[in-house]
Amino acid sequence: MQSPGSRLSLVCTLVLALILLTLPAGAAPPTFTIAATNISMPSNGNTGSSPFTLTSVGGYAGQIRVDCSYSGAAMGARVPSCGIFVNPVSTLAANKNAQGSLTLVPYGKVIAYSASASGKWRSGMPVIAVPILGMLLLPRRLRRRARGMLLLFAVGVVILTGVSACSSGLSGTFAYTVNAVDIKTNTTVTAPFTVTVP
């Protein structure tokens, strides 16, 4: 036979166990996500625009500063600059979405030359090789005069090839990252997107 104290202890243990079972498991703290749209830059050299969406998760509400940047390899040609140049702070209500737009300006940040640009340099090599071969076939007496002219010609070809490679701009698809930072807590989330330059 159980004593009244042991019955009370058993009842208290059962009630405590029941309370613990009914409590929700550790809920994730409120946060937010961001996503941006892949875009192609206009072929006429105008600015581009990538829409983004902020989403509240778990009842998050607050102000978020949004920006973006090129995230590919460091190189030597220019890709579009990215950012929000007017009012980069968005207000996100609990369990809602907020939309905005990232602006991409042509020919901003410097990165490396593409394979297509280096191919343009290689395409100028036959033009340089022909005069060199011709100079080797000249009699020795005429070679001295031809050297100066050949050097001048070679420098001109290299300059013209470089100018045409740079002026045509860099084309391809480039990696960017959109960043969203809570202005009070500094909680940061990021998402990738791509920018195609025709």
- Is residue 47 domain-resident? yes
Are 69 and 156 part of one and the same domain? Answer: no
| CB-count exposure of residue 177 (10 Å: 0-12, 13-18, 19+) | middle
Are 92 and 159 part of one and the same domain? Answer: no
- 57-70 pLDDT per residue, tens: 999 999 999 999 99
At residue 92 the predicted structure's pLDDT band, cuts being 50, 70 and 90, is very high
Are 100 and 128 part of one and the same domain? Answer: no
The segment with the largest mean pLDDT, out of 76-80, 82-86, 112-116, is: 82-86
Q: Do the Cβ atoms of 120 and 161 come closer than 8 Å?
A: yes
Residue 189 is part of a domain; what is its CATH number? 2.60.40.10
Q: What is the mean pLDDT of the chain?
A: 76
DSSP code at position 138 = S
Q: Do the Cβ atoms of 74 and 111 come closer than 8 Å?
A: yes
- Is residue 24 domain-resident? no
Number of folded domains that form the chain: 2
Nearest CA to 114 out of 196, 6, 183 is that of 196
pTM, full prediction: 0.59
pLDDT at residue 164, as a whole number: 43
Are 184 and 106 part of one and the same domain? Answer: yes
Are 103 and 124 part of one and the same domain? Answer: no
- Is residue 9 domain-resident? no
Are 123 and 148 part of one and the same domain? Answer: yes
- Is residue 36 domain-resident? yes
Are 64 and 152 part of one and the same domain? Answer: no
Q: What is the largest CA-CA distance in the chain?
A: 128
pLDDT at residue 74, as a whole number: 74
- Of 83-87, 110-114, 169-173, which range is least confident? 110-114
- Is residue 154 domain-resident? yes
| CB-count exposure of residue 156 (10 Å: 0-12, 13-18, 19+) | exposed
Q: Which two tokens stand for residue 167?
A: 């002026």
Alpha carbons within 13 A on the beta-carbon side of 101: 8
Are 71 and 37 part of one and the same domain? Answer: yes
SS (H, E, C) 47-105: CEEEEEEEEEECCCCEEEEEEEEECCCCECEEEEEEECCCCCEEEECCCCEEEEEEEEE
Print the domain residue range for 154.
115-167
Are 149 and 96 part of one and the same domain? Answer: no
- Is residue 25 domain-resident? no
- Is residue 83 domain-resident? yes
Q: Which two tokens stand for residue 10?
A: 């058993």
In the numeric block, the tokens 């029941």 are attached to: 18
